[in-house]
Amino acid sequence: MIYYNEGKITVRELRESDAEYFAAEERAQGWNSTRDKYDIHLRDHREGRCTALAADFDGIPAGYINLYFDSERGPYFGSGLPEIEDFGVLQKFQKQGIGTVLMDIAEGLAAERADTVCLAVGLHNGYGSAQRMYAKRGYIPDGSGAWYGGKPCTPYDRIYTVDDDLLIWMSKKLR
């Protein structure tokens, strides 16, 4: 299914062939990536738990986003709120409007189900552009503090690693 097709950007459902492509491209740009996460999103999409999307730029896969219909983790677990999970645009395609289009589509799909959407974002500087994008789009921290490994961090504890599992949860009112 095609969700968007304008100019150089096309947004469509994620395909099996995207899994290894995105994982390899992310590894090439220094990210810790495997195809497993894409296989999980593809399975969840087939089972109707999420909508898994990919964006092409001039016919080349450039980014992806997944919208889960009921948050399956963090403070929103089982809340019925949709969750944007695992959103990314390959570095060589950034600053082309791809991320904005993907977020617009995911938020539009979320608004069909709820008045609020949630997401989590990493705290290290590799997530800096995502943190800024979410703030500009109206996402606000939910007040539950930092989370690590799926659990809230304990204040003043020094056992957490600043990696992709250290995050903060945010939400946005859609209507």
**Mind listing the domains of the chain with CATH numbers?**
2-173 (3.40.630.30)
Sheet containing 116-122: give its strands across: 2-6, 9-13, 50-57, 60-68, 83-89, 116-122, 166-173, 140-148, 151-152
Kindly report the pTM of this predicted structure: 0.94
Q: What is the pLDDT along the chain (175 residues), one digit of tens a residue?
A: 999 999 999 999 999 999 999 999 999 998 888 999 999 999 999 999 999 999 999 999 999 999 999 998 999 998 999 999 999 999 999 999 999 999 999 999 999 999 999 999 999 998 999 999 999 999 999 999 999 999 999 999 999 999 999 999 999 999 8
Q: Over the Cα atoms of the chain, what is R_g?
A: 16
Q: Rounded CA gap, 172 and 155, in Å?
A: 26
